[in-house]
A and B are shown apart, each in its own frame.
Chain A
Amino acid sequence: MAKKVAFMQGNEAAAQGALYAGCTFFGGYPITPSTEVAEVMSIELPKINGKFIQMEDEIGAMASIIGASLTGAKVLTSTSGPGLSLKQELIGYACIAETPCVIINVMRGGPSTGMPTGPSQSDVMCAKWGTHGDHAAICLVPASVQELFEETVRAFNLAEKYRMPVMIMPDEIIAHMRERIVFPEPGELEVINRTAPSVPPEQYKPYDTKFGDVPPLAAFGSGYRFHVTGLNKAEDGFPTTKAALVQAEEERQVRKVDANIDDIVTFEEYMLADAEVVIVAFGSTSRSARFAVNEARKAGIKAGMFRIKTFWPFPDKQIKALAGKVKAFITPEMNLGMCTGEVKRCAEGKVPVVGIFRVDGEPINPGQILDKIKEVK
């Protein structure tokens, strides 16, 4: 049977990806340019006995999905810059309470209200450093409509597997453009479900490290009674100020990602075998970069691209390895140097890292990147 194809917008594909992953709850608040995700979920969720709720504000939306997640549901919210700022309080809550949830943040210009309909890539640092305190972060940056669907599925898998909030950050261009999408059949993409507790209720502890760095999370209403708090907690979920316990719990929450970087980090290597000039790009900017690399190759320049698909954790290992081989990195991005700083950190001074920055609401075009390739080659 021929697979189902459609010509679809990125935001719509993200919503379809969420449904494919088994999402049954969406709590949101309207904000440009992510609202189409909420609109599709409001139409599709009730058809499968799922729940959609439009909350009174961004914080409430985040709260509602954490509450729903504690009942065992796979949950989603979608937002954009100003909403992401508001949600940070409870993103931190989801981190410390280790509650799986997925946040789609469509990147528009900022700070503040910024440029609501203009593309940007300036929220990537907010994905890691937005909420206070030490915590792990996972952030995916897809570059096509198809990939936005697939990465949304992966975001749910990672959220459930590592018991934490996971962010998907398409820029406005990826979220709003339309492309042909081929829908995977059920079963074709891996779908990971939450691990249920293997012990009876009387022995259950929500952060029981006997089961490793990601202990199973029971659902409210399933026969397991437990306590959840945003305070530093012990294995039994109750608040503690015992220094050793707090230290151990904090370290575990960061370690559960740090120790599994190879399972989480994904990337694409394009024409890197002999590349001397390497563009490190992500999201829609990587499409301009690919165009520029192709043109550079036609002109006999050994250019290539390292495309970041997982922004957090950052692909340190891969970029450090490249830094030992290439002559220069070029880092085009729709912000004033967020990825550039990370690449510089990984390059450790071995090679120059040349940024191309745009924050005027316009995409970085292939010509800009090609000019820079010619300049640094």
Chain B
Amino acid sequence: MSGRYELRFSGAGGQGLILAGVIMAEAAAIYDGKQAVQSQSYGPEARGGASKSEVIISDGPVDYPKATVVDALLALTQEACDKYSHDLKEGGVLLVDSDLVKRLPQGNFKTVSFPIINTAKNEVGREIVANIVALGAMVALTGVVTKESAEKAVLSRVPEAFIELNKKAFQTGYDKALAASK
């Protein structure tokens, strides 16, 4: 299991978590020259419900494509936090939206919280980029992909007209996470 880093992006359907996972994996697999697999599980709902996107990043081939013990977990809803935090690794990282996740799991890991969705809405200007704010934060907290690669991956996935918005979202998330984890 050495060299294997596992991330889980969780929340509700429609929050863009699958895309956040895809971008993280793409940053590793396309821009950082590592190997990565992204997978997801979801319910029948297109919006709402609990949704998760998992990313495994490794220097070598990734065999098992799902998480075994999670190194870093993002939870954007209380339901997702309750459901998906059980296998968070000792010494791992938990990032939650401080407005939405009030009950935190107990364990020997680092918890970072800030109002992710509210930041997207009020500081960046659009709630829809909350997933990119969260992604910036996860990149800052885990260091598993380089910031440059992650930014490139973000920009390759968004339409021309939304490049500045997403750049701002990513940078804001990145900075807020560092500030919150001090």
Contacts and interface: CB of A to CB of B under 8 A. Distances in A.
Given A7-B29, A117-B44, A291-B63, A178 B68 contact: no
Contacts of B30: 5-7, 180
Contacts of A116: 44
Interface in A174-224: 176-180
B77 interface: no
Interface string B25-69: 110011000011111111110000000000000000011111010
29 contacts: A7-B30, A7-B36, A7-B38, A116-B44, A117-B42, A117-B43, A117-B44, A173-B39, A176-B40, A177-B38, A177-B39, A177-B65, A178-B22, A178-B37, A178-B39, A179-B38, A179-B62, A180-B30, A180-B35, A180-B36, A284-B65, A287-B62, A287-B64, A288-B63, A288-B64, A290-B63, A363-B66, A365-B66, A366-B64
A294 B36 contact: no
A328 to B, nearest CB: 21
Contact of A294 (B26, B38, B39, B63): B63
Interface in B88-134: none
Nearest to B55: A178
Contacts of B65: 173, 177, 284, 287
A114 interface: no
A7 B64 CA distance: 17
Given A177-B38, A179-B29, A179-B37, A367 B68 contact: yes
B24 to A, nearest CB: 10
Nearest to B60: A294
A62 to B, nearest CB: 26
Interface residues on A, range: 20 to 34
Interface residues on B, range: 20 to 34
A366 B64 CA distance: 7
A188 to B, nearest CB: 21
Nearest to A6: B30
Interface string A1-16: 0000111000000000
Nearest to A7: B26
Nearest to A290: B63
A287 B58 CA distance: 14
Contacts of B22: 7, 178
A291 B38 CA distance: 17
A366 B63 contact: yes
Contacts of A295: 1
B39 A291 contact: no
In the A-B complex, list the 5 residue pairs whose CB atoms are closest, starting with the nearest: A291-B63, A177-B39, A180-B29, A7-B26, A178-B38
A176 B39 contact: yes
Contact of B68 (A5, A6, A179, A366): A366
Given A7-B25, A117-B41, A288-B63, 8 more contacts: A173-B66, A179-B37, A179-B38, A287-B62, A287-B63, A295-B1, A365-B64, A366-B64
Nearest to B43: A117
Nearest to B31: A7
A116 B42 CA distance: 10
B79 to A, nearest CB: 17
Interface string A279-300: 0000010011011001100000
Nearest to B26: A7
A178 B38 CA distance: 5
B60 to A, nearest CB: 10
A365 B68 contact: yes
A5 to B, nearest CB: 7
Nearest to B65: A177
B68 to A, nearest CB: 7
Nearest to B40: A176
Contacts of B25: 7, 178
Contacts of B68: 365-367
Interface string A331-371: 00000000000000000000000000000000101110000
A117 B18 CA distance: 15
Interface in A114-152: 116-118
A294 B30 CA distance: 26
Interface in A151-182: 173, 176-180
Contacts of B26: 7
A74 B13 CA distance: 37
A24 B32 CA distance: 36
Contacts of B35: 180
Contacts of B41: 117-118
